[in-house]
Structure 1
Amino acid sequence: MARQTVGAVVGDARLNGFHIKVLIMCSLLMIVDGYDMVSYGTVITHLMDEWRMDPVTAGTLGSVALVGMLVGGLFVAPLADRYGRRPLMITCVTIASIASFSCALATGPAQLGVLRFVVGVSLGALVPNFNALAGEIAPRRAKALFVTLVSSFYSVGGIAAAVFAIYIEPLWTWRGVFYVAAIPLLMVPFLLRHLPESPDFLAARGDRERLLVVLRKIDPAAELDDVVVERSTAAGKARLRQLFAGGNAINNVLIWVFFAMCMLLSYGLNTWLPKLMQTAGYPLGSALWNLVVLNLGGMVGAIAGGWIADRWNYRNTLVAYFVLASASLIGLSFNPNSVVLNVLLFVAGAATVGVLAIIHAFAVEYYPAAVRSTGVGWAAGIGRIGAIGGPTLGGALLALELPFQQNFIAVAVPGVIGAVAVALVAGKKFRTPEPERAAAS
């Protein structure tokens, strides 16, 4: 009888309750990320009034959490390749929730900035790892769908932040939005009991006993006596240099570019859309509902993108999404009537927030298990440079007092750059360095 690989067991498994439970846990963690990141955009108008901040200062403060995500993605997320996804994820969601709740107690920009930085570091390490876990437990034909389904719940968190802002701020002021951020702490006992470790991580570590426990949950009917469990030569020493060995350098840089462009679009819009719409003459309540429409589109776009990518390919799906993002933003620049405005906002959300989900699915598929947290973490981390630029760019544009049309045209440019980067890299494979291939054979 031929020996089975871990990938074959996972890939051939039929969807069952274990898959659904892991998807639910990862999706709830993505809601936490979406809520914590969008919440600042819902209170920025109040903070500018109360603390008398100018747009550039407010935009810089909005970028602090994204700087934290950069640090978390680059230096904390890769620790999962050494210590495992499970302990890192549980630790990060705990710290993020405590720090985000503490934002409600801030008395000035400096305190809020420090707390938002801590939130960002925790989320920057958390997101690449639960996206990776979702892909690692997925059946072969549903990998992209699993990751994008999880990623789509970012929009649920964003919608929740906007809705809470509309109904809670009049009662508890802007601080109420951050009080709600403590709720995810209730999930921690459940995660401790039910969150599994990554089967790919356990295989790379040669931990056969724990691996078989997870595989039996993934496929209860599988015969596992002949499963190959070989410790990876890269296990325990994943480094950035491995991402650039074997001719992978150009592809890695291109991946970083389209991560950055995608995050610039997504985080820039979620931070400044209410304020941009106010400058066009819309009342604050209406502008916050625009944020809801944007994130509803993001949820639909992410799920649809995963389904399309599994049946088409990543390259064409990503290029189409980036082009659609630019086109919809240019359409918004013409200050359309309310019906067209909401349609364009929905499409813009589907394309900008949706593409954020698809690029994570692409990265999970592109990088091999031994360096997956490092690869996805660095891609998401470098992408935060674009995310940092989003709020900062929005603040700078508002400070220039440009016409409404020019603001949205400027925001559309990153979509074109992202489409070009995707076209150059998508469809290619990560090249394992020759020494590792030889050791594995």
Structure 2
Amino acid sequence: MSQHTVTSVVGNARLNGFHVGVLVMCSLLMIVDGYDMVSYGTVIAHLMDEWQMDPVTAGTLGSMALVGMLVGGMGIAPLADRYGRRPLMITCVTIASAGSLACAFTTGPFQLGALRFAVGAALGALVPNFIAMTGEFAPRRVKALWVTLVSSFYSVGGIGAAVFAIYIEPVWTWRGVFYISGLPLLLVPVLLRFLPESPEFLAANGDRAKLLSVLRKVDPHNDHSDVVAGERTEAGKARLAQLFANGNALNNVLIWVFFAMCMLLSYGLNTWLPKLMQTAGYPLGSALWNLVVLNLGGMVGAVAGGWMADRWNYRGTLVLYFVLASVSLIGLSFNPNSLVLNVLLFVAGAATIGVLAIIHAFAVEYYPAEVRSTGVGWAAGVGRIGAIGGPTLGGALLALELPFQQNFIAVAVPGVIGAVAVAVVAKKKFRTARREPVAVTAS
């Protein structure tokens, strides 16, 4: 009797309602991340007035959630490789939502900064794990599209934050934006009931009964009693060291570089775009709508990027997106008319936020299952250094009172660095020391 691996069963499965359920739950979690990360940018002008903060202090406060995401991505996300994605994801979304709701009741920068750090740490662990889970349940032919589709819902959250800010802040002040961020607590019972565990994690940990239960939902037309785990790396606890073993060091560092540049662009623009547009003479309401256009572009760019990556390749798609990001931001520096402005903002969003989705899909594909949470978590975690730099750089630029054109030209530089980093990444898969396939046995 021929044997089938977990990867082949999932990769060859036909789409069904179970797949759609996983896709919907992971997409909702991405909306939570997008809303929480963009929400600060929608209230920053009000906070600067109410708490009398200068731009550098406001930028530093904006970076606190991103510092938390760095800690969460590096220190907490890898725990899923040992304990499972499901329990970690449910715990993290609970902490993030409760912490965001508590932000509505803060009375000063210190309290808000501490809560934003906690929210960021929870999201930093949550995101790489539901991104990895999306890839682990996706049929092979649509894997990149699925991961980028889920990632595109970051922009739905961002758009929601901007739209809610426009209509809620006049009624409930800036605190209303954070009241809304507590709603994902209602999602927790749904996750407890329906969220499955990663089949690759179950295979790696020998939980055959649960594995077969999940696989029969993924592909209900077959029995799967002959399934094996597939090729496995030699056992070892030093998963971080594995990222640099067997000639993987250069690619790993380059992946970290373009994660950092991508996040600098995305988080910097989402934090400071309304304030930058205000300095150019636009009213706050109009500047917040610019944030909506930016994130609409991000949603379209993410889905289009996944479609391109499935049919072309990740490397070429990423280079194209980084180049488009730089060109569109330089175009914005010329203070164009309203039509051209919105087109450039749409393209900038498609490229800067869209590339964030594609690099996550690339990382899920690049790293094997046994180090996937560690690889994606550390790439996203190191990328947060760029994300932290985005709000801080924006605040520093505003404090320098540079001309409008120079602000956008400075923001375009990371796109060039990111394109170069992607262009020199070797066209090779992650190298592992492998042994023969092993059967999944009861624990």
Range of TM-score over shorter length: over 0.9
Contact kept in structure 2, 1:260 and 1:382, CA below 8 Å: yes
1:34-433 alignment, distance < 5 Å: 34-229=34-229, 232=232, 237=237, 239-425=239-425, 427-433=427-433
What is the rounded CA distance, in whole Å, between the counterparts of 2:207 and 2:172 in structure 1? 50
Shift of 1:225: 1.8
Shift of 1:237: 2.4
What is the rounded CA distance, in whole Å, between the counterparts of 1:270 and 1:234 in structure 2? 42
Shift of 1:180: 0.5
The one-letter code sitting in structure 1 at the alignment partner of 2:325 is: A
- Provide closer, same or farther for how the CA distance between residues 426 and 412 of structure 1 changes in structure 2, counting only shifts above 3 A: farther
Q: Deviations over 1:221-280 (max 9, x none)?
A: 124121113795566825211111111111110000000000000000000000000000
Segment drifting more, 107-116 vs 226-235: 226-235
What is the rounded CA distance, in whole Å, between the counterparts of 1:246 and 1:440 in structure 2? 20
The answer for unaligned runs of 5 or more in structure 2 is: 439-443
Contact kept in structure 1, 2:231 and 2:436, CA below 8 Å: no
Shift of 1:2: 1.9
The one-letter code sitting in structure 1 at the alignment partner of 2:295 is: N
What is the rounded CA distance, in whole Å, between the counterparts of 1:266 and 1:248 in structure 2? 27
Q: CA RMSD in A?
A: 1.2
The one-letter code sitting in structure 2 at the alignment partner of 1:346 is: F
Contact kept in structure 1, 2:35 and 2:160, CA below 8 Å: yes
- Provide closer, same or farther for how the CA distance between residues 16 and 266 of structure 1 changes in structure 2, counting only shifts above 3 A: same
Q: Deviations over 1:401-420 (max 9, x none)?
A: 11100000000010011111
The one-letter code sitting in structure 2 at the alignment partner of 1:50 is: E
Give the corresponding residue for 2:13: 13
Matched residues, number:
438
What is the rounded CA distance, in whole Å, between the counterparts of 1:238 and 1:142 in structure 2? 32
- Provide closer, same or farther for how the CA distance between residues 238 and 93 of structure 1 changes in structure 2, counting only shifts above 3 A: farther
Identity of counterpart residues, as a percentage? 83
The answer for unaligned runs of 5 or more in structure 1 is: none
The one-letter code sitting in structure 1 at the alignment partner of 2:37 is: M
What is the rounded CA distance, in whole Å, between the counterparts of 1:404 and 1:152 in structure 2? 29
What is the rounded CA distance, in whole Å, between the counterparts of 1:212 and 1:136 in structure 2? 15
What is the rounded CA distance, in whole Å, between the counterparts of 2:359 and 2:161 in structure 1? 24
Shift of 1:427: 3.2
Q: From the two aligned structures, give the one with the greater helix fraction.
A: 1
The residue matched to 2:325 in structure 1 has which SS?
helix
The one-letter code sitting in structure 2 at the alignment partner of 1:87 is: P
What is the rounded CA distance, in whole Å, between the counterparts of 1:426 and 1:88 in structure 2? 33
What is the rounded CA distance, in whole Å, between the counterparts of 2:231 and 2:60 in structure 1? 45
Contact kept in structure 1, 2:232 and 2:435, CA below 8 Å: no
Shift of 1:424: 1.5
Q: Deviations over 1:164-190 (max 9, x none)?
A: 000000000000000001100000000
What is the rounded CA distance, in whole Å, between the counterparts of 1:391 and 1:234 in structure 2? 42
The residue matched to 2:227 in structure 1 has which SS?
coil
TM-score norm. by structure 2 comes to: 0.97
Q: Deviations over 1:50-79 (max 9, x none)?
A: 000000000000000000000000000000
TM-score norm. by structure 1 comes to: 0.98
Q: Deviations over 1:100-126 (max 9, x none)?
A: 000001100000000000000000000
- Provide closer, same or farther for how the CA distance between residues 46 and 405 of structure 1 changes in structure 2, counting only shifts above 3 A: same
The residue matched to 1:228 in structure 2 has which SS?
strand
- Provide closer, same or farther for how the CA distance between residues 121 and 4 of structure 1 changes in structure 2, counting only shifts above 3 A: same
Contact kept in structure 2, 1:238 and 1:374, CA below 8 Å: no
Shift of 1:426: 5.8
The one-letter code sitting in structure 2 at the alignment partner of 1:388 is: I
Shift of 1:438: 3.7
Q: Deviations over 1:290-336 (max 9, x none)?
A: 00000000000001100110010000000000000000000000000
